[in-house]
Structure 1
Amino acid sequence: MNTVQSILLLAVPALLAGTPVLAKEGPDQYPNGSENFMAGALPPPGNYFINYLGYYQGDYRDNDGHKVPGLNVSATFDALRFIHVTNQKIFGGDWAVHAIVPLVSQRMHTPFPGIGNGSVFGLGDIVIDPLIIGWHFPPDWHLTVGVDIYLPTGKYSKSNPTDSVGANYYSFEPIFAFTYLNQGGFEASAKLMYNLKTKNLDTDYQSGNEFHMDYLIGQHFGPWAVGLAGYYLRQTTDDQVNGQKVGPDGRRGQVFAYGPAIKYDYKGMSFVGSWNHESSVDNRFQGNKFFFKWVTAF
């Protein structure tokens, strides 16, 4: 999805800035792990639709990686992505634009008095990118770059994280994605991103910037492909509130995830399923994420 990529809006919950145990305020706006097969290959000129359907469940981990009792989340999300690849060239590459509209259904349990448990359904943070450029270097290499813009359109509550699915701030995300697919069907793909966040003006909370990437190593067999896929995220700057560093470590989050992925191509459509298990988690939820992706031209 962003870049040819992004989607969507991660359906991991909005977090309450004033709760001392939590990392950054707001959900991940990008659903880590959503891109795997052919992540760096922009399709030919035309119009495309991608539907990302996913489920996530996890328990919160503190800055030492320890589970926080009673704090967990589950979320089902569906993101609709529309891509237009033009006939125009920029720097020798194909120029494309896209938009992603996510919907999220979330349930959160907390141990905090006055907050408790809650569920919410609503629009997530919409993503747009007016400048995606993709190059193809026959026979094996593909490269795509772009800058996704996340809009604070998601449902948001300043006082109650169980009633929020939006981050309530803008983000700007440069993207660099590549795919290597040789004649024997071996594929290595990755999408590298750096998320630059603006301040939440309702709370004066500045969440830290993050480097993150999706990756895949796989093999194609006719219309089928299988692989190992996942994601890595590391927060590179501190969270701040009222201009001051939050906690001793700036609530810097990190996660590494891995799991199987499978793809099937049929009559111009692609169907992709994946499971990611999260590990090495600090200041984030740790759990499992499932994706089902449908890709088609129209």
Structure 2
Amino acid sequence: MKRAAIFTTMLMLANDAAYATEGAGLGVYPDGLENFMSGALPPPGLYGIAYAGGLRYDSIRDGAGNRVDVPNFRVKVGVAAPRLVWVTGQSILGGQLALHVVAPLLDVDVRAGAGRWKNQGLGDMTFGAALGYHASPSLHYLVSLDVVAPTGSYDRDDPASLGRNIWTVQPVLAVSLVQPSGWNLDVKAMYDINRRNRDTGTRSGQALHADYSVGWGFGNGWVAGLGGHVYRQTTGDKGPGAADKARAYALGPVLKYDSGRGWFLTAKLQEELGVRNRPQGRQFYLKAVLPL
């Protein structure tokens, strides 16, 4: 959903620095998007999930974490991403089979120097299949395989392109500890395996990243705590746009409300830190889950 392509032009302005993942150090997944309950599949049925939020980047960091001087640099991305999840009644290898699709709608606004670029529309869609397990009434986990398809419009000369123009295969492991009263814990770990961008001849490096949330349940449907994301590129890029590996961490408050009637809401605000070879910013996400 979030793409490296939107930063290409700004990074050309900062020609003394190198940035991983084909120019920006950002993967196809919007880091920190998930919150509580990402590893807990519900009973069989059809479910709708709506993500909404905003991403803002106002600086670029080099390999030492120093700010790179790019005049008037600012990137704002608005996200509205409907997700459809079908939890089937089938069991494979002892787990619930579920299928899902995400169709992100993006509003991208990029400024650098005297230039400004804007685009709106469909980004890169995600398709996947998962197996969910329930180790106990409170401990749940799932394994899945997602594929991110290059459905968003792309122009190598447009920094506000809506897609990255690559296919990405993404194995996923998610674990959720869910307690109405007491500790709640959620970790969704992903590994990106990127294909080559045929327009640029560059293949972005692989990356390990995870969303996390830790909170306390108050027994009345509310959970509050801290969450964020971690990102670490594990292999280097290959091709004309190859650059140094990227990394980032984020932390901020998280909140969840469970209605007890099958639907719940979560919110996450996170500030990035420890950023290397990529833009640095902050993100805010809302998630609503309801049975259809």
Aligned-pair identity in percent equals 35
| Contact in 2 for aligned 1:11/1:165 (Cα 8 Å) | yes
In the alignment, what sits opposite 2:211?
214
| Contact in 2 for aligned 1:210/1:235 (Cα 8 Å) | yes
| Contact in 2 for aligned 1:11/1:77 (Cα 8 Å) | no
Instruction: List per-residue Cα deviations over 1:12-53 (Å, max 9, x = no partner).
Output: 762328834443237532111111212211111100011100
Instruction: List per-residue Cα deviations over 1:128-159 (Å, max 9, x = no partner).
Output: 01x20000012331110001000001121111
In the alignment, what sits opposite 2:194?
197
Q: How much is the aligned-residue C-alpha RMSD, in angstroms?
A: 1.9
In the alignment, what sits opposite 2:235?
237
| Contact in 1 for aligned 2:52/2:286 (Cα 8 Å) | yes
Q: Give the count of matched residue pairs.
A: 280
| More divergent stretch after superposition (80-89 vs 135-144) | 135-144
Instruction: Output the CA distance in 2 between the equivalents of 1:297 and 1:120.
Output: 32
| CA pair 13-294 structure 1, distance change in 2 beyond 3 A | farther
Instruction: Output the CA distance in 1 between the equivalents of 2:238 and 2:95.
Output: 39
- Give the alignment partner of residue 173 of structure 1, picking from 167, 170, 173: 170
In the alignment, what sits opposite 2:139?
141
Q: Please tell me the residue identity of whatever aligns with 2:221.
A: P
Q: Does 1:256 align with 2:255?
A: no
Q: Please tell me the residue identity of whatever aligns with 2:74.
A: N
Instruction: Output the CA distance in 2 between the equivalents of 1:217 and 1:265.
Output: 16
Alignment of 1:102-141 (within 5 A): 102-111=104-113, 116-129=115-128, 131-141=129-139
Instruction: Output the CA distance in 2 between the equivalents of 1:138 and 1:205.
Output: 45
In the alignment, what sits opposite 1:275?
269
In the alignment, what sits opposite 1:48?
47
| CA pair 138-57 structure 1, distance change in 2 beyond 3 A | same
In the alignment, what sits opposite 2:38?
39
Q: Does 1:66 align with 2:66?
A: yes
Instruction: Output the CA distance in 1 between the equivalents of 2:43 and 2:284.
Output: 28
Instruction: Output the CA distance in 1 between the equivalents of 2:78 and 2:4.
Output: 9
| Contact in 1 for aligned 2:107/2:119 (Cα 8 Å) | yes
| Contact in 1 for aligned 2:107/2:121 (Cα 8 Å) | yes
Q: Does 1:153 align with 2:123?
A: no
Q: Does 1:15 align with 2:24?
A: no
| Contact in 1 for aligned 2:4/2:21 (Cα 8 Å) | no
Q: Does 1:288 align with 2:282?
A: yes
| CA pair 254-16 structure 1, distance change in 2 beyond 3 A | same
| Contact in 2 for aligned 1:11/1:106 (Cα 8 Å) | no
| Contact in 1 for aligned 2:5/2:156 (Cα 8 Å) | no
Name the TM-score, length of structure 1 as normaliser: 0.88
| CA pair 12-44 structure 1, distance change in 2 beyond 3 A | farther
| Contact in 2 for aligned 1:207/1:238 (Cα 8 Å) | yes
Structure 1 residue 220 displacement after superposition: 1.4
In the alignment, what sits opposite 1:90?
92
SS of the residue corresponding to residue 15 of structure 1 reads helix
Instruction: Output the CA distance in 1 between the equivalents of 2:272 and 2:90.
Output: 40
| Contact in 1 for aligned 2:21/2:27 (Cα 8 Å) | no
| CA pair 215-30 structure 1, distance change in 2 beyond 3 A | same
* Structure 2: 5+ residue stretches without partners: none
Instruction: Output the CA distance in 1 between the equivalents of 2:21 and 2:3.
Output: 15
Instruction: List per-residue Cα deviations over 1:77-106 (Å, max 9, x = no partner).
Output: 111100000000011110000000001101
In the alignment, what sits opposite 1:3?
none
* Structure 1: 5+ residue stretches without partners: 1-8
Structure 1 residue 183 displacement after superposition: 6.9
| CA pair 178-287 structure 1, distance change in 2 beyond 3 A | same
| More divergent stretch after superposition (91-100 vs 117-126) | 117-126
Structure 1 residue 294 displacement after superposition: 1.1
| CA pair 12-237 structure 1, distance change in 2 beyond 3 A | closer
